[in-house]
Amino acid sequence: MINVLVTNDDGVFSEGIKALAEAIGEVAHVMVVAPDREQSASGHSLTLHHPLRIRKVRDHWFTVDGTPADCVNLAIHGLLKEAPPDLVVSGINFGLNLGNDVTYSGTVSATFEASLQKLPAIAFSQEVAEGFSFERAAGFARLMVGKMIEDGLPERLLLNVNVPADPYTGVAITRLGHRFYRQTVVEKRDPRGRRYYWIGGVPEWETEEGTDHAAITSGRISITPLHLDLTDYHGLEGFDGLTRELDQAVKQADDDDSNASDA
Ligand code: MN
């Protein structure tokens, strides 16, 4: 059996990670290393300015007083150094992680960190609405991971899986959708009259076929392959003119400097 590291951003005591660890435990050796408290929307942050502690909760279950990315790091380079994981799975998150939200998501960022450490990784997130079930989502995760283990895990694997609340009507391979918020910051006054702000608002999605959002709204499970190369390859050409001008200006300034110091 392969070794699977299970983590999340909702914290080690959340229902979603319990369902996921138990389900994956039927097809692999599972080790859980997860934040000791909720770390949702922590993104891909690493804790570098204070020490981290690992605490054993029970056999094969550990908590870290840090972020999901901390957990993946400590697991790979510390706790599981002798028997490193073959796969990292994250979730099952309480709530979807679609489109632009993936960079905020601690659930997905745990898989980004795994990918940087050259490990295959899958994030699972559950739509929270009437009728949703972590058990059903965990059953799908076991089916999916079980099949992938049978077929042999590809070397480069970074998948973002979102599961609808309704009974599943199918599975779709998707691209990230685009979200926009109508209103994002609410300004209020605290009891001392000082302003405070609350980031929020009602998310709205562009309704485009082929996106993760479109799959979920039609009751399908969405699987989005991701990669961490954020380079805009179209943009490389678009900046040719500007780059040439800046390049000349920098070289000219350098020449002027050396002329000045010669004088
Ligand atoms: Mn979360």
Per-residue pLDDT tens digits for 132-183: 999 999 999 999 999 999 999 998 899 999 999 999 999 999 999 998 767 6
Q: Which residues of the chain have pLDDT under 70?
A: 181, 183, 262-263
CA dist 94 and 174 (Å) reads: 21
Rounded to the nearest whole angstrom, what is the distance from the C-alpha of residue 84 to the centroid of ligand 1? 25
CA distance linking residue 71 with residue 65, whole number of Å: 9
pLDDT tens digit sequence for 180-205:
767 678 899 999 999 999 887 777 88
Instruction: Work out whether the CA dihedral 161, 164, 167, 168 comes out positive or negative.
Output: negative
Residues 3-177+207-230: name the CATH superfamily.
Survival protein SurE-like phosphatase/nucleotidase (3.40.1210.10)
What distance in Å separates the CA atoms of residue 118 and residue 54, rounded to the nearest whole number? Answer: 23
193 CA → ligand 1 middle, Å: 33
The answer to whether the pTM exceeds 0.85 is yes
- Mark the residues whose beta carbon lies below 5 A from ion ligand 1: 9-10, 40, 93
CA 151 to the chain's CA centroid: 24
Q: How far is the CA of 214 from the centre of ligand 1 (A)?
A: 21
Ligand 1 centroid–CA 106 distance in Å is 7
Question: From ligand 1's centre to the CA of 40, what distance in Å?
Answer: 4
